[in-house]
Structure 1
Amino acid sequence: MLNLFGSENLSIIAENRIWISRLNSELLNCQNLSSRTHSRPFPDRYNREILPAGLSADRLLIASKAHSDASKMTDNFELKSARSRIEAAYDPDLLSAASQTLSELLTLHARTLDEPDTPVLNWRAPAENLQQALEQLLQAPTTDLATSDLPQRIQEFRALAQTLLDRGHNLQNPRYIGHQVPASIPLAGLFDAITAVTNQVMAVYEMGPWATAVELALIEMIGTEIGFTPGEFTGLVTHGGSLANLTGLLAARNQSCPEIGTLGPQAQLEASPVLLVSADAHYSVTRSANILGIGTEQILKIPLDEHRRMHPLALEELILECRSENRKIIAVVACACATPIGAFDPLEQIADLCEKYQIWLHVDAAHGGPTCFSKRHRHLTQGLHRADSVVFDAHKMMFIPALSAFLFFKNKAHRFTAFQQQAPYLFDPSAPEIADYDLGLRTIECTKRANSYALWGIWALFGKQLFADLVDVTFETAGIFQRLLQETPDFEVVHEPECNIVVFRYQPAWLAALPLEQQNMIHFRIRRQIIESGEFYIVHSVIDGQAAFRITVMNPLTTEAHLKQLLNSICSKANHFKGEFPVTRQTDHCEQT
């Protein structure tokens, strides 16, 4: 029997590829001729007239067919192996065992977070982390997955999951008081896992019918809490406050200057478009101006009052100035609250001016929006319902895993103002009544993750009072910290906190005697030592040119004891720098007058 993989056949094929190709082509021609004449001119003619001496057409064709059969068998074997590997990855028993393992690891992890020696930030240098992440990928199995038994696969899963936990940032640690990213409610992550494991997406209703229902129900409930008129407002959910700001301002631009969207740089505008923006607005507003073709230099910053809130009188002066200079105001952008110190702009007064001059009011309430749930603090966002568009992040003060950002429009007629493109393969003209449920018409994303399951699940399980509780407790903890700062020598509060953001400085006499540049550097270095040690996670800020520490109480389990420990840590680490910098007498500019 001919060995399909024999070295003799492979040698013949390798040396005579051109002849085999010509023979196969001739064979097809001869088969057609034979069906008409019943003659057999092939391969005898090749044996006598064409092939080099010593070669047989039959021998070449047999070798070629053998090799072809072997290739097909190899392909079939490889596809069978591929299917086996895929089946192993999708095995429900593997999912079950891995889920139980992950549940065990997460529970153990959660129980260690409040222990004194558990680091907040598992700090390693970027190059070290990258190298170890690459090593894990390079060590990935290359053998057949189907040959690995279930216990071995679960053991490998356990090791990888433990690595993720060991190397991650422990935001649920009560000593995490850094950025405006919360210690999310643990069960919210489990609801979110349903989205991830089953890959729930949405753009058209039929792709995510339940996800669409969940999102619209939450829009209705939160919008009502804000104070919008039921039946008149609408909204959407997108991936983060930056996209929400972009979408809201895009709607404002299209409402005011639609020709920019259609004609771009060729648009002939009667007036130069500008944005009037709080001086402390988030940098995503500047990015939006760039993307929208308005231009970053066309952002006019509205002066702030002594509490770093937008000054209504300054806003009106700027509006009148723009009108006199023939500038078209796309929108006024207010904050509730602004990132630097958590200041809430006076929304009622700003809304009065926007209504008076018929200007679109956009409010970035990504952080402070959920104060509408709190009886104690809802006054901070009084007037929010009067804005034309409102950004409201569930992944901040509603303590939901990132990302889940809401954008509301006071007038539901604006729901399609941002995006008006057609996609015939998506939207079904035979069912126009469903178009209002095809949420891809409203968002910058087409395929969009169903990122509202976590919030819907927590709301349905615990009720909306939990969101008020989270606001009240974290704001109260920030107030406790303010009192501690006032009672502790050498610390000063930079502002009167309105929410759970507190900015403060450490200013002992020896540090205050240094030049400002050295003071700032010491603040930066103290903070760097604190976060790399894993003891706390805080951030820094620069207010009016002077560095400061900044905390945001984003864990409702943070206590007064934790905050006292932070102040002690700052004092201890600052003393290590005492004497490192030479004290130079700072110039008193008043003496020069």
Structure 2
Amino acid sequence: MLPSVHVNRQHVTKDMSNDNTTTVAVNGTSHGNSNNSNNSNSIAVSDMKDGELLKEVLELVLKEKLVTGMDTKAKVVQFKQPQELQEVLDLSVCNDESSVQEAKLILRQVLDYSVKTQHPHFYNQLYGGIDEVALTGAWITEALNTNQYTFEVAPVFIMVEHKVISYLLDLFGFTQGDGIFAPGGSISNMYGMVLARYLHQPDIKRKGIFAQKPLVAFTSDQGHYSVSKSAAWLGLGMDNVVAVPSDEQGRMLPKALKEAVEEARNRGHTPFFVNATSGTTVLGTYDPLEELADVCSEEGLWLHVDACWGGSVIVSKKYNSLLKGIERADSLSWNPHKMLGLSLQCSTFLTRHKGLLHECNSARATYLFQQDKYYDASYDTGDKSIQCGRKVDAFKLWFYLKVHGIGQLRSRVDLAFEASRYLAEQVVSKEGFRLVQQPECTNVCFWYIPPSMRGQPETSEWWGRIAKVAPEIKARMVKEGRMMIGYQPLACKNLVNFFRMVTTCTPVPTSTHMDQVLNTIDTLGTDL
């Protein structure tokens, strides 16, 4: 078991003549970097028994309850400013290898000063901790360290990816199609734009964009910024991404989309791609897919659905109606590493156009994708990717589904939604809190109004003061290590800074957790 280590703030002394770390102080005692020490911890890492360092890591993970459930009394983060962290951490790279004690110290410090995303009160992003099953799947993929491009080097993982893609196509209602695992939702969204462009103007693959009219993409004013980034990378230009107005809840307006398409055509531009969102980043709203699919069908546009955040409701019988119409999309992206709690990264891209991924992206590298192999080369799926090296992320999702079963995941999704509904009810009923809107996904957006500001006229000056409340409370809660909750303004809706609280499947959120959130905010903000 790892010893309890207190890190002296002056823990590293350097010989400035050669920049080699010479001494590490642990618990006030200096340990040399010599292999001749009688202390077994002073031996070099290379002299450790096989697997000993891995055992230390496992012991540390278990001891700190990183996958078995942290206590709410533990800190989410031991926060330090960047300059302070530079003083604590020795980030130098030396000529000599580390001792065992130094390696342990590094691991201890990484854990001490990192954010504990598996803490029950980490709500800062659209993801959370992972459980033992998710971590097991991730560790196996890392240990085997292979590549998802040919059956030759990844026979099991290639078969798994084929099976998972087939399962997901059926799950989302695509009668046929294809898919791929990508390094994050932004790249998954870019896949949709690339395929849409290729289907609309296949000559671009070889001749480029130079002789083409400007292509125009459409997304809601609540859509993810990756759509604009994709347009920049593909040479369309960010100015050719049209932000379509949304309603009061943040859902894209189909009528406004149709008008925007007509306006683009009147300018002599070529509309080709619509990005709908199922679970927007801030408000967590779901665009009306049926109506948007009607517009895209009438106008001859590719409909992509960014379901990276809200797509996990597909496993829920109670909430999957939020995705009504998704089977009519040309493509979709979904990140199981968000609400479901898979390890980062695990992002899927699906399209109902079978063969289009390969046709669009294939470059036929002869050193990888020879057609005269000693097995069925059709299983070599790497040529349909824009990457060469690609992690075997499909296994992590398959293992998670296989071990847990859909029934358990359905229950977890429902519990995450129920916790968000409970929180929204408490916000409405509790003095000093005001809901921005009723939640659709598990995003609960609300303001906290300190006692000194209650009952006052809500002038522009008053709202200006409210805008400073969430940032100040956030700073206090992080510096104390109590919890982490996001906040932001929404300028297009004339909304000043509010808290955006999200619940995920891991760890399972409870009503007690939700009560603690509001009580903590109230305690930290009562003097403002």
Q: CA deviation at 1:452?
A: 2.4
1:122 aligns with 2:88: no
| Per-residue Cα deviation, 1:413-445 (whole angstroms, up to 9, x for no partner) | 312244132322211031498444222212222
For the pair shown, which has the larger CA radius of gyration, 1 or 2?
Answer: 1
Q: CA deviation at 1:289?
A: 0.6
Corresponding position of 1:103: 58
| Per-residue Cα deviation, 1:431-474 (whole angstroms, up to 9, x for no partner) | 49844422221222201111222222221112122221221110
Corresponding position of 1:516: 463
Q: CA deviation at 1:556?
A: 4.1
Do the aligned residues in 2 keep the contact of 1:247 with 1:418 (CA within 8 Å)?
no
Do the aligned residues in 2 keep the contact of 1:490 with 1:507 (CA within 8 Å)?
yes
Q: CA deviation at 1:559?
A: 2.0
Among residues 506, 515, 526, which one is paired with 1:564 in the alignment? Answer: 515
Corresponding position of 2:208: 264
| Identity rate, percent | 27
Amino acid aligned to 2:390? K
Do the aligned residues in 2 keep the contact of 1:376 with 1:472 (CA within 8 Å)?
yes
Structure 1 pair 196–352 and aligned structure 2 pair: CA distance change class (3 A)? same
Corresponding position of 1:475: 417
Describe the SS at the equivalent of 2:355: helix
Q: CA deviation at 1:505?
A: 0.3
Q: CA deviation at 1:131?
A: 4.2
Q: CA deviation at 1:572?
A: 2.3
Describe the SS at the equivalent of 2:54: helix
CA distance in 1, matches of 2:45, 2:481: 37
Corresponding position of 1:378: 320
Q: CA deviation at 1:157?
A: 4.2
More helix by share: 1
Corresponding position of 2:190: 246
CA distance in 1, matches of 2:62, 2:48: 22
| Per-residue Cα deviation, 1:355-409 (whole angstroms, up to 9, x for no partner) | 2222110110001112111100110011111111100111112210000110001
CA distance in 1, matches of 2:131, 2:108: 20
CA distance in 2, matches of 1:207, 1:351: 40
Do the aligned residues in 1 keep the contact of 2:173 with 2:327 (CA within 8 Å)?
yes
Q: Matched residue pairs, number?
A: 475
Corresponding position of 1:549: 499
Q: CA deviation at 1:93?
A: 4.0
Q: CA deviation at 1:571?
A: 2.0
| Per-residue Cα deviation, 1:39-62 (whole angstroms, up to 9, x for no partner) | xxxxxxxxxxxxxxxxxxxxxxxx
Among residues 110, 132, 157, which one is paired with 1:211 in the alignment? Answer: 157
Amino acid aligned to 1:188? A
Where structure 1 has 5 or more consecutive residues not aligned to the other structure, the ranges are 1-87, 146-151, 578-593
1:142 aligns with 2:96: yes
Among residues 285, 289, 296, which one is paired with 1:347 in the alignment? Answer: 289
More strand by share: 2
Corresponding position of 1:255: 199
Q: CA deviation at 1:350?
A: 1.0
Deviates more, 1:390-399 or 1:318-327: 318-327
CA distance in 2, matches of 1:456, 1:311: 36
Amino acid aligned to 1:524? P
Where structure 2 has 5 or more consecutive residues not aligned to the other structure, the ranges are 1-43
Among residues 308, 315, 320, which one is paired with 1:366 in the alignment? Answer: 308
Structure 1 pair 373–92 and aligned structure 2 pair: CA distance change class (3 A)? farther
Structure 1 pair 254–495 and aligned structure 2 pair: CA distance change class (3 A)? same
Q: CA deviation at 1:500?
A: 1.0
Do the aligned residues in 2 keep the contact of 1:251 with 1:417 (CA within 8 Å)?
no
Corresponding position of 1:193: 139
Do the aligned residues in 1 keep the contact of 2:69 with 2:507 (CA within 8 Å)?
no
| Per-residue Cα deviation, 1:174-205 (whole angstroms, up to 9, x for no partner) | 11122101222222112211111221222222
CA distance in 1, matches of 2:132, 2:114: 16
Q: CA RMSD in A?
A: 2.3
Do the aligned residues in 2 keep the contact of 1:172 with 1:183 (CA within 8 Å)?
yes
Corresponding position of 2:18: none
Q: CA deviation at 1:511?
A: 3.1
Describe the SS at the equivalent of 1:334: strand
Do the aligned residues in 1 keep the contact of 2:118 with 2:130 (CA within 8 Å)?
yes
CA distance in 2, matches of 1:238, 1:89: 35
Do the aligned residues in 2 keep the contact of 1:176 with 1:537 (CA within 8 Å)?
yes
Q: CA deviation at 1:328?
A: 1.1
Q: CA deviation at 1:123?
A: 1.1
What is the TM-score with the length of structure 1 in the denominator? 0.76
| Per-residue Cα deviation, 1:48-90 (whole angstroms, up to 9, x for no partner) | xxxxxxxxxxxxxxxxxxxxxxxxxxxxxxxxxxxxxxxx978
CA distance in 1, matches of 2:47, 2:191: 41
Do the aligned residues in 1 keep the contact of 2:450 with 2:526 (CA within 8 Å)?
no
Describe the SS at the equivalent of 2:156: helix
Structure 1 pair 106–205 and aligned structure 2 pair: CA distance change class (3 A)? same
CA distance in 1, matches of 2:170, 2:281: 25
| Per-residue Cα deviation, 1:299-355 (whole angstroms, up to 9, x for no partner) | 111111121101112122222333333321120110001111100011111112212
